[in-house]
Amino acid sequence: MTGPLYSLGVFGDEAGFVAIFLIGLAFGFFLERAGFGSARKLAGIFYFRDFAVLRVMFTAIVVAMLGLLYLSSLGWLEMEAMNLPPTFLGGQIAGGLLLGIGFVTGGYCPGTSVVAAASGKWDGLVFMLGLIFGTGVFGLSFDWLEGLYQWGSMGTVTLSEWSGMGAGTLGFLIVLIALGAFAATEYADRRKAGAADAGGKFMSLQVSWQRAGAALAVVLGFVLMTAHSIAGQGVSVSKLAASGDDLIEPADLAAMLARNQPVAVIDLREPASFAQYHIPGAANLAFEQLAKADLPRDRLVVLCSVDGVRAGQAWAVLASRGIQTRILKGGLRQWWAEVATPADLRMGGGAPMALPAAHGAAAPGMPAARSAAPPAAGGVKKFKKGSSCS
C-alpha cells in the first residue's frame, strides 16, 4: 500500500495519536539503549572523548535516508505528501549554533533530556524546565527575533535540488561520508586505547556485522545512484521501461507548442507546485489517475515531473494502455534551465509564459482535470503538527 498512510487518508486522527505514541515509545527506548540518557556520554562528542552521538545519528540518518529513497523509487511512498521541513537559513544557522551551545552547556538536547529524566537524572528534568523557560523567552521576544526567524526563507528545498546533484548520487555520497566518519573515529578510539597495531586491525579483513552493514550500505547506495541516474534520463526502473527514443527534448517540446502542433502535456507534480508554475497548456494529473484518465489518442502525450523519475514510471502506465507517450527529458528542471527564462518564473501562475502563442494550445481534448486538484492529491493531509513546526 502506498504511504504515507495517514496523509493518504488510510486512517484518521485518533489512530494517528496511538501511532505517534508507539513511535515515541520506540524512539525513547532506542535513545536509552544508545546511552543518550547520560549527559556525560552525550557531551563526550564535543571533547573527542565519546563518538556515540555522531555514530548513532549518522547511522540513523543513513538507514532512514536509504529507506526513504528506496520506498519512493519503488513507488511505495508518495514523497510529495511528506512533511519536508522548510529551509530558513537565518533561523536554522543561528538556531543551530545556539542549540550546540545549549547542548554542551546543559548536556542534552530536547529529546535526550526526556530520556535522561525518565532514567532518574535530575539534571535531565532541570534541562526540561529550562527548555520551557527558554521557549517562553522566545515567545516574549518574538517581535524582536522575528526578522532572524524569517530570514533566508528558501521553501522546502532539498540538498539535491539545491546542489543540482541527483538524489541517488547524493544519497550514495552521504553513505560514503558517514562510513568514512565511522572508520576515522573507530581508528581514533583504537589509537587512544593504546593498541599498538591500531592500523593493523583497522586494515585487517576481519568479518564483523559492522563491516557487513557498512558493505550493505555501500551496495544499496550504489544501486540507488545507478538506478536514479538511469531514471533521471527518463528511463523507468519499473518492469516496462522506456528507452531513449521515448524522450523529448525541452526545446523540441517548446517548438511543438509554439507551432500549435497536437501535443498534450501532463504535469505529474502536486497541485501546489503546478499552481506556482507549469508549462503553458499543461494538465495536472496525479500518477494514480493515469491508469483510468481519458486521454486523447490523436495527439502526442508528453509527461513531465520534477526531474523525470516519476514521469518514467507514468510512461510505463500509459505505454501499457497503448497511448503514444513521450517523457520530457530532464523533467521540469531541464525545462526551466533550457526554455523558461528567469523572467517567466517571476510571473508565476498559469499566465502565458515563454510561449504566449502556445497557451491553451494543448487544452482541447484534454481531460477536465486541467489545473483542478486531482482527487487523490487533493485529499492529502499533511503531517499533523504545529503550523510553526516542532
The span from the CA of 103 to the CA of 176, in Å, is 27
- Cβ-based nearer residue to another protein, 142 or 203: 142
Give me the least distance between CB of 59 and another protein, in Å please.
3
Residue numbers 66-105 binding another protein by CB under 8 A? 67-68, 71, 76-77, 81-89, 91-105
Residue numbers 309-338 binding another protein by CB under 8 A? none
Specify whether the CB–CB gap between 78 and 7 falls below 8 A. yes
- Cβ-based nearer residue to another protein, 91 or 250: 91
State the burial class of residue 12 (Cβ atoms within 10 Å of its Cβ: 0-12, 13-18, 19+): exposed
The span from the CA of 109 to the CA of 95, in Å, is 13
Specify whether the CB–CB gap between 69 and 1 falls below 8 A. no
Provide the 10 A C-beta neighbour count for residue 43. Answer: 18
The span from the CA of 124 to the CA of 25, in Å, is 18
3-class secondary structure, 302: strand
Letters for 353-382 (x = contact with another protein by CB under 8 A, - = none) are ----------------------------xx
- Report the side by side order of strands in the sheet with 263-267: 247-248, 325-328, 300-304, 263-267, 283-284
Residue numbers 4-63 binding another protein by CB under 8 A? 4-7, 16-17, 19-35, 37-41, 43-47, 51-52, 55-63
- Cβ-based nearer residue to another protein, 117 or 303: 117
211 binds another protein (CB under 8 A): no
Choose which of 12, 74, 75, 126 interacts with another protein (CB under 8 A): 126
240 binds another protein (CB under 8 A): no
How many residues bind another protein (CB under 8 A)? The answer is: 140
The span from the CA of 205 to the CA of 82, in Å, is 41
- Cβ-based nearer residue to another protein, 82 or 363: 82
Residue numbers 128-187 binding another protein by CB under 8 A? 128-139, 142-143, 145-146, 148-149, 154, 156-162, 167, 170-171, 174, 182
The span from the CA of 312 to the CA of 319, in Å, is 11
Name which of 273, 252, 211, 284 is nearest 355 in CA terms.
252
- Cβ-based nearer residue to another protein, 209 or 343: 209
- Cβ-based nearer residue to another protein, 5 or 255: 5
Provide the 10 A C-beta neighbour count for residue 266. Answer: 27
Give me the least distance between CB of 172 and another protein, in Å please.
12
Give me the least distance between CB of 213 and another protein, in Å please.
7
The span from the CA of 90 to the CA of 185, in Å, is 31
The three cell numbers locating residue 52:
556515540
Give me the least distance between CB of 365 and another protein, in Å please.
35
- Cβ-based nearer residue to another protein, 20 or 376: 20
